[in-house]
Amino acid sequence: MHCVQGTKEVITVSINNQTLTFKGLVYPVSTSKAGIGFEEGSNKTPLGKFQVSEKFGGGEAAHAVYKGRVRVGLFSLEDNDSNHDMILSRILRLSGVGSCNHNTFKRYIYIHGTNNEGSIGTPMSIGCIRMKNLDIIDLYNRVQLGTCVNIKNN
């Protein structure tokens, strides 16, 4: 699968600004607290061009919790451990389309909702791009499989 041809719709993630932009909408995000990188197990956010290769969570509750891309329950504030990076609401799984980031799919790099919305706007993830739950639901409903993603550091 390659990025959708003939479309100018691109998700742009700015590491420097901690934002994600799509169709003129700007959402705050949280990228990796370990910085930028491509190595397996590094917990770093990769740079370059990607595509949305899988989508998970359509139609699920806004605070659905996922493990291994499978819904395992609902998030509860009473059970929240903000030190644990949970995957909530929706998942957009990325595939790298460059030689440096070709391992992104097997690294399980996602754009997803989080249990720690207070960290959005600062680098605090373990490699993924985290969003507020209502924001990822909005984005999920706007993008299609194959949508291009550009993650940059400027």
No. of H helices and E strands in the chain?
Answer: 1, 10
CATH of domain 10-152: 2.40.440.10
Tell me what percent of the residues of the chain surpass a pLDDT of 70.
90
Mean pLDDT on 53-57: 96
Q: What is the pLDDT of residue 1?
A: 46
- CB crowding 122-149: b at 16 or more within 10 Å, else e: ebbbebbbbbbbebbbebbeebeebbbb
CA distances from 117 to 1, 59, 85, 134, 153 (A): 32, 21, 11, 10, 22
User: For the chain, what are the domain ranges?
Assistant: 10-152
Q: Which pLDDT tens digit goes with each residue over 136-154?
A: 999 999 999 999 999 999 8
Task: Name the amino acid, one letter, at 109.
Answer: I
Segment 24-42 mean pLDDT:
91
Q: How far is CA 130 from CA 2, 43, 109, 120, 145, in A?
A: 24, 13, 10, 7, 19
Q: What is the pLDDT of residues 1-12, one digit of tens each?
A: 456 555 568 999
For residue 74, the model assigns a pLDDT of 74
pLDDT at 36 over 60: yes
For tokens 């705050």, name the residue. Answer: 28
Residue 25: what residue type?
L
Size (the chain), residues = 154
Q: Span 116-141, mean pLDDT? A: 95
Q: What's the pLDDT score for residue 79?
A: 62
Share in percent of the chain as helix, strand, coil (round to 5) = 10, 40, 50
Instruction: Kindly report whether the global pTM for this prediction surpasses the value 0.75.
Output: yes
Which is higher by pLDDT, 74 or 120? 120
